[in-house]
Amino acid sequence: MHALRRGTTALTSRTARNALNGRRGLQSASTERFGHLPDSHSPITPKLKFFNSVTEDGGQIPTYRVLDGVGKPIEGAEMPEIDETLARKIYENMVLLPTLDTLLYNVQRQGKISFYMTAYGEEATIIGSAAALASDDEVLGQYRESGVLLWRGFGLDNIMSQCLGNEEDTSGKGKQMPVHFGSPAHHFLTISSPLATQIPQAAGVAFAINRSARRGKNCAAVYFGEGAASEGDFHAGMLFASTIPSPTLFIVRNNGFAISTPAAEQYHGDGIAARGPGYGVWTVRVDGNDVLAVLGAVREARKKCLEEGRGVLVEAMTYRVGHHSTSDDSFAYRSRSEVEDKKRIDNPITRFRLFMESQGWWSKAEEDALRARLKKDVMQAFKRAEGMQRPELQEMFTDVYGGEEPWNIKEQREELAGLLKKYANDWEPWKTELERFKGKGQEWLKKSD
Amino acid sequence: MSCFTPHCARRAVALKPRLRFLRRWQSTATPEAAGHLPSVATSKLLRPTRDEALRTPGIRWADEDNSGPVRTIVGGRETRKMNTYQSIRDALSLALMKDDTAVIFGEDVAFGGVFRCTMGLAEEFGRERVFNTPLSEQGIVGFGIGIAAMGHTPIVEIQFADYIYPAFDQIVNEAAKFRYRSGGQYNVGGLTIRCPTMSVGHGGLYHSQSPEGFFMGAPGLKVVIPRSPIQAKGLLLASIRDPNPVIFMEPKILYRSAVEQVPIDDFELPVGRADTLVRGSDLTLLTWGTPLYHCETALHMLASPPPGLDKHVPESLRNAKIELIDLRTILPWDVEAVVESVIRTGRLVIVHEAGLTAGVGAEIAATVQKKCFLKLEAPVRRITGWDTPVPLQYEKFYIPDALRIMDAIVETLKY
């Protein structure tokens, strides 16, 4: 209780400070000689002028970059602090993503898992931002952010178990589609398919941890694509995190496509970043294929988020190299050559490797060893998970409610059990399927009722 | 629960309900809302004395566990006369007092709420715990889900149940499925969504709706609707503490009109349990929220039809013993109580304000038909709003009023 009250006081003073800064800024405006509206601080002007940009010169919001295409710092680059250990961890995780993606993409093609979504091309955005967060910041993802979990040590076994929905699937006991990961131990809220729903939830998570004792140094980071930002929930989330003090870090992966819809058909304005200031939210646009730029920008954004106690927006400009999902053939709406060009010219992994090599932190031999090791690890984890059975069939009815199980759930579980007893040996589709479940449904078949 | 029945029947004979209503109305400062139901002010369903209030069936004192503060109660427990909004405010105050993680937010709740349910709470508990949100229902529920996912207790308000639909996705796809989809790793059990519901006499299309049926098909949710101040306090406290997300729908016409003695201590009434208000053996009358008072009036009309109506009520049916049940929880509904009752009576009339097609009554009728097939002596009747939006000037002909209920009882008994 005491801690809570302290947190509250801090917030109030922060709020007051912000209001003060805002007013001071306005007073310096030249239009101040006409006064300003009493309730909005808007300075009065005799000039009729429309505007359609958040930048003073009418141009687009610039993109923060540190490394050029060949891994050399660009002139005047504000380099984030990074040492060899951190750089190596970042690089290894960046390489792990496509290694994992390639295997799981291929096994989906073989029908061994039902669905998959790769993160090709977005490795720098995901790993760079993951590295910038505290390991106990709460993360709410969309579905292309398994790299954050890997960075935090979720492990390949858990990834595989979820995608296969086997008995070791801690994310959801085989209930959700592949790539819908979740882990309280890794402060990663379970992914759900409906787009953007996690955005206002993130503001709520941030609000709650801000009120919790010992969690005042954490923020909630929420990831989403530029397509999801068109949902009403984006608007709600930005609004709530800015209006109700909630340290929420909005990280938008602007990869140019929402399935087949190019960003140009998604919005007419200057991307997502241009919306931030409309909500009174500090905003930055960053080159999402430059891991150092992402690291630096997200670190600063996180710092600002905690200082202000409100939402901060980071728009990472990247490119979705892979298909939207295994259910999508992206060459139906974009040319193969466009994708190949992107992969060659602007590959986030290559860019960072060249930087690593220029620092003397990486070599060809290490590269070969890493790729071989990761490939082996990934294959080994898959083989292990593939051999496992699904959870017990009765798990299908668990976790609908907490506390006492309602009668309807109980009745329906018993109805299915009765049907299994009656038909499981004679109805081929059920018989084959039962073999895949731990205990083969015997927990129901054996009961005497 | 049956304690109420015998003396209720006696009083019904002793008092002229109409007269008593007038006297009561004149003595109160509360202005009469259009459509104010005379039967609410005079209802025997309400508990006007301390003794009756303390003997509310199913009441569970929440301060009698070890986690509550130590207290000595001298001379029994106290009650205070409250209307429904006051009892809700009382429940919210207790919830905030006992749970530091509890917060209340929504549109206009800080100044006390458009129905006064949060009066003084911001002053008492601080703006950090009772605050306004931007005007965005999907935002309010999404924000609440996030707070609940961290194990805290968000109590959110949607200003009218009519405006809950922008949050439908957050409620049905997110809140309801949060526990299931995470294999039990996460849940939003702390979330309670309060919203005023049902008709108010002049609410038109968007201040009158009863959307409980839309949520009945969302496993993972609970939906609770109280009928009176005691019920509102006990069920709301239970809903807030239930380990599942609960939509708590408050019949708005009862905010001021329903008044009873409400225990001032912390108590709960069970979620998922129906409440049998009047025992009977000839027909089961099942409803929830506002229509309970229309049902009560209908029972009076059946027993002693007003002039003009008497020709429609055969003498032989006037002594029929009708069992009146308040369902209280829509999801999961109390199948046991309803089925047990219909097996005894052989007849069922379900009353609700929402439209007929795919309403809650359809679900209950189908289940009763399945479980009581051999006992049913008449078709299950559903007296509901029509399958139209709730129309402003036509409301008296839209709602399932006492006459329509009485007619259904007569027809079902005659079948």
- Would you list the domain boundaries of chain B? 41-268, 274-414
**Using 50, 70 and 90 to split pLDDT, how confident is the model at A342?**
confident
Kindly identify which residue of chain A lies nearest to residue B219, measuring between CA atoms: A400
Contacts of B100 in chain A (CB under 8 A): 1, 4
Collapsed DSSP state (helix, strand, coil) of residue A309: coil
CA distance B244 to chain A (A): 6
**Using 50, 70 and 90 to split pLDDT, how confident is the model at A329?**
very high
Mean pLDDT of A327-338: 91
The pLDDT of residue B12 is above 60? no
What is the number of CB-based contacts under 8 A between chain A and chain B? 171
Q: What are phi and psi of A10, to 5 degrees?
A: -60, -40
The pLDDT of residue B27 is above 60? no
**Using 50, 70 and 90 to split pLDDT, how confident is the model at B19?**
very low
Q: What is the mean pLDDT of chain A?
A: 91
Contact A204 B149 (CB under 8 A): yes
Residues in chain A: 449
**Using 50, 70 and 90 to split pLDDT, how confident is the model at A345?**
confident
Tell me how far the alpha carbon of residue B24 is from its chain's centroid.
23
- Give yes or no for a contact between A229 and A252, defined as CB atoms under 8 angstroms apart: yes
The pLDDT of residue B66 is above 90? no
What pLDDT, on the 0 to 100 scale, is given for residue A422?
95
- Convert B169-210 into a string of H (helix), E (strand) and C (coil): HHHHHHHCCHHHHCCCCCCCCCCEEEEEECCCCCCHHHCCCC
Contact A192 B177 (CB under 8 A): yes
Alpha-helical segments (H) within A333-445: 336-345, 348-358, 364-386, 407-423, 428-434, 442-445
Each residue of B288-336: pLDDT tens digit?
999 999 999 999 999 999 999 999 999 999 999 999 999 999 999 999 9
Kindly identify which residue of chain B lies nearest to residue A10, measuring between CA atoms: B128
Amino acid at B131: F
- Say yes or no: domain B41-268 is CATH 3.40.50.970: yes
Each residue of B179-226: pLDDT tens digit?
999 999 999 999 999 999 999 999 999 999 999 999 999 999 999 999
- How far is it, in rounded angstroms, from Cα B167 to Cα B194? 13
The pLDDT of residue B36 is above 70? no
Contacts of A199 in chain B (CB under 8 A): 142
What pLDDT, on the 0 to 100 scale, is given for residue B175?
98
Contacts of B144 in chain A (CB under 8 A): 204
Contact A184 B186 (CB under 8 A): yes
Contact A194 B126 (CB under 8 A): no
Q: Which CATH architecture has domain B274-414?
A: 3-Layer(aba) Sandwich (3.40)
The pLDDT of residue B8 is above 80? no
- Give yes or no for a contact between B385 and B374, defined as CB atoms under 8 angstroms apart: no
**Using 50, 70 and 90 to split pLDDT, how confident is the model at A38?**
confident
Mean pLDDT of B370-380: 98
**Using 50, 70 and 90 to split pLDDT, how confident is the model at B69?**
low
Question: Which secondary-structure segment (H or E) carries A159?
Answer: helix A156-164
Higher pLDDT: A76 or A27? It is A76
Query: What is the torsion angle, in degrees rounded to the nearest 10, for the CA atoms of residue A166, residue A168, residue A169 and residue A175?
Result: 50
Best mutation target, B128, B137, B187, to test chain A (most A CBs within 10 A): B128
Contact A401 B173 (CB under 8 A): no
Q: How many CB atoms lie within 10 A of CB A415?
A: 10
Q: Where are the beta strands (DSSP E) in B43-98?
A: 60-61, 79-83
What pLDDT, on the 0 to 100 scale, is given for residue B41?
85
- Residue A190 is nearest to which of B134, B145, B186, comparing CB atoms? B186
- How far is it, in rounded angstroms, from Cα B165 to Cα B157? 13
What pLDDT, on the 0 to 100 scale, is given for residue A129?
98
pTM of the predicted model, to two decimals?
0.91
B207 catalytically annotated: yes
Mean pLDDT of A182-206: 98
What pLDDT, on the 0 to 100 scale, is given for residue B22?
38
The pLDDT of residue A145 is above 80? yes
Q: Which residues of B15-32 are buried (b: 16+ CB within 10 A; e: fewer)?
A: eebeeebeeeeeeeeeee
- Residue A200 is nearest to which of B131, B146, B178, comparing CB atoms? B146
Mean pLDDT of B69-74: 52
* Residue among B207, B294, B300, B352 flagged as catalytic: B207
Phi-psi region of B411 (alpha: psi -120 to 50; beta: other; left: phi over 0): alpha
Contact B146 A201 (CB under 8 A): yes
Contact A208 B146 (CB under 8 A): yes
Each residue of B107-161: pLDDT tens digit?
999 999 999 999 999 999 999 999 999 999 999 999 999 999 999 999 999 999 9
CA distance B283 to chain A (A): 24
| Domain parsing of chain A, residue ranges | 82-386, 393-448
Cα distances (angstroms) measured from residue A275 to each of A59, A222, A250, A313 = 14, 16, 12, 9
Mean pLDDT of A201-229: 95
Alpha-helical segments (H) within B34-83: 38-42, 50-54
Contacts of A140 in chain B (CB under 8 A): 146
Of all residues in chain A, the percent with pLDDT exceeding 90 is 85
Kindly indicate whether the ipTM for this predicted assembly is greater than 0.90, answering yes or no: yes
Q: How many CB atoms lie within 10 A of CB A377?
A: 15
Minimal CA–CA distance to A195: which of A149, A132, A261? A261
- Give yes or no for a contact between A316 and A286, defined as CB atoms under 8 angstroms apart: yes
The pLDDT of residue B269 is above 80? yes
CATH topology match: B41-268 vs B274-414 = yes
Collapsed DSSP state (helix, strand, coil) of residue B167: helix
CA distance B213 to chain A (A): 16
Best mutation target, B101, B143, B180, to test chain A (most A CBs within 10 A): B143
Mean pLDDT of A6-10: 38
The pLDDT of residue B363 is above 70? yes
- Give yes or no for a contact between A204 and B113, defined as CB atoms under 8 angstroms apart: no
Contact B150 A209 (CB under 8 A): yes
Mean pLDDT of A65-69: 95
Amino acid at A78: E
Mean pLDDT of B341-367: 98
Contacts of B179 in chain A (CB under 8 A): 399-402
- How far is it, in rounded angstroms, from Cα B94 to Cα B232? 13
The pLDDT of residue A8 is above 70? no
- Say yes or no: domain A82-386 is CATH 3.40.50.970: yes
What pLDDT, on the 0 to 100 scale, is given for residue A341?
87
DSSP letters for B287-350:
E-STHHHHHHHHHHHHHSPPTTTGGGS-GGGTT--EEEEE--EEET--HHHHHHHHHHHS-EEE
Of A189-198, A254-263, A273-282, A309-318, the poorest mean pLDDT is in A254-263
- How far is it, in rounded angstroms, from Cα A413 to Cα A397? 7
Each residue of A389-411: pLDDT tens digit?
999 999 999 999 999 999 999 99
Best mutation target, B150, B156, B223, B330, to test chain A (most A CBs within 10 A): B150
Q: Radius of gyration (Cα) for chain A, nearest Å?
A: 25
Contacts of A170 in chain B (CB under 8 A): 183, 185
Contact B150 A239 (CB under 8 A): no
Contacts of B149 in chain A (CB under 8 A): 189, 201, 204-205, 208
Contact B143 A244 (CB under 8 A): yes
> Which residues on neighbouring strands pair with residue B351, listed in sequence order?
B383
